[in-house]
Amino acid sequence: MSNLIINKIVKRYGDIEVVHGIDLDIAPKEFVVLVGPSGCGKSTTLRMIAGLEEISDGTISIDDRVVNRVAPKDRDVAMVFQNYALYPHLNVAENIAFGLRIRKEPKDHIEKAVKEVAETLGLTPYLDRRPANLSGGQRQRVAMGRAIVRRPKVFLFDEPLSNLDAKLRTQMRAEIKRLHNRLEATSVYVTHDQVEAMTLADRIVVMNGGVIEQIGTPMDLFMNPANTFVAGFIGSPPMNQIEGVIKKSSDGMHVDVNGNSFSVPKALDVEEGQPVVMGIRPEHIFLENEGDSFSVPIKLDLVETLGSEALLHAAVGDENIIIKTGTEGGDVGRLSGVEQIYVPTARVKVFDAKSGLAIPERAD
Ligand SMILES: Nc1ncnc2c1ncn2[C@@H]1O[C@H](COP(=O)(O)OP(=O)(O)O)[C@@H](O)[C@H]1O
Ligand SMILES: [Mg+2]
């Protein structure tokens, strides 16, 4: 099991810098997901780890050896791509065996390894088929087989599920997770899909514009986003962000939103009159008082029924808010009469309006 240390890596294409000095320590066996919008530098970072892109500045180490100058084939990493990159004229067994053949491993060893991997991935019945005669999901499994069979120190995945339809994507996502639980190989996985990131990762790295916005476990990011970017990227629907102004009174601190008062937890490091963005997750808003909550009147605009849950689109003053609620009992008719919401004070996050950074609690 191998560690991977990324130290202040920079990528420049000519004069244009696209990755601005990223630091990341990945522990042995860890499954780390790089997530962020298109063009934020995820693939570039992954390709620098793989050795497919030159590193402009900084270092990458695998098992405490700096690999900046080590050729891709000597880094002992295996990469799985979105487009599978299979050899069309080779059958499944030959595709999986390809890397081992190149390394001139003994024939009986190759045969045994291919057999094992095919069994693991449910590919045994298809070993004689060519990629053209496989489904998308089967092709993706072959691509994974080719990576697994080499027993690399580090697995790298670049949007491996993006070409699959939604149902298959969910299924393959679970398979990748099971595979990781079994192989326990250090993995770096790139996706723009926050659901994939949340479900697969031990730790998520949220990237934006060539920098890291936050690193944390899925629940860290969900519960305590470091800034409004992460708050707006993680979660579905994402965290509500409501603009308001800090008001202090004898009974504590509030955010005033067009005359509606939202309590905030404990003593935050803020000034009276400071413009803030308040963050409340749609699933942290309730239609009944669950205790330690405050109520806010809303104007309901739209109810979307999703089956197991419903989304209420509403306004607080002139700010829009989305509420996620269960549909137990199946009576969604009652939802169209909602005029009031309850928000647990402890769930309210406050960000500085100017910097977008989460406001910490006062130290004293
Ligand atoms: N070969 C290249 N030459 C110039 N710019 C590039 C090249 N490859 C990628 N970029 C730029 O680098 C940025 C990051 O790209 P990329 O890492 O592919 O993003 P992501 O994988 O997060 O979608 C983008 O702005 C992209 O246009
Ligand atoms: Mg990419």
Structure confidence by residue, pLDDT tens digits, 328-350: 888 889 999 999 999 999 999 99
Ligand 1 atom 26 nearest Cα = 39
Parallel/antiparallel/unpaired status of strands 186-191 and 154-158: parallel
SS3 letters for 109-131?
HHHHHHHHHHHHCCCHHHCCCCH
Asked whether the CA dihedral 30, 199, 176, 129 is positive or negative, the reply is negative
Rg, C-alpha atoms of the chain: 25
Beta strand pairing call for 203-208 and 186-191: unpaired
For 96-116, the pLDDT digits (tens) are: 999 899 889 999 999 999 999
> What is the fold, at CATH topology level, of the domain defined by 240-352?
OB fold (Dihydrolipoamide Acetyltransferase, E2P) (2.40.50)
Atom of ligand 1 minimally distant from the CA of 41? 17
Q: What does the block give as tokens for 211?
A: 């920098």
Residues contacting residue 230 through CB under 8 Å, at least 6 positions apart: 206, 213, 214, 221
In the DSSP assignment, the letter for residue 32 is: E
Each residue of 188-223: pLDDT tens digit? 999 999 999 999 999 999 999 999 999 999 999 999
- Residues 6 or more apart from 122 whose CB is under 8 A from it? 141
**Each residue of 119-158: pLDDT tens digit?**
988 899 999 999 999 998 899 999 999 999 988 999 999 9
Residue located nearest, by CA, to atom 1 of ligand 1: 13
To the nearest whole percent, how much of the chain has pLDDT over 90? 80
Is the C-beta atom of 308 inside 6 A of ligand 1? no
Question: If you average pLDDT over every residue of the chain, what do you get?
Answer: 94
- The ranges of the chain annotated as CATH 3.40.50.300 are 4-231
At 364 the pLDDT is 60
For residue 82, report the distance from its CA to the centre of ligand 2, in Å.
Answer: 9
C-beta contacts of 243-250 below 8 A and 24+ residues apart: 243/275, 243/276, 243/277, 243/278, 243/319, 243/353, 244/275, 244/276, 244/277, 244/278, 244/319, 245/273, 245/274, 245/275, 245/276, 246/270, 246/271, 246/272, 246/273, 246/274, 246/276, 247/272, 247/273, 248/272
Closest residue by Cα to atom 27, ligand 1, is 39
**Which of 18, 40, 55 maximizes ligand 1 atoms within 8 Å of its Cβ, making it the mutation to test the pocket?**
18
Q: What residue spans in the chain does CATH classification 2.40.50.140 cover?
A: 240-352
Ligand 2 centroid, distance to 39 Cα (angstroms):
7
How far apart CA 321 and CA 339 sit, in angstroms, is 13
pLDDT at 301 over 80: yes
CATH 1.10.10.10 fits 4-231, yes or no: no
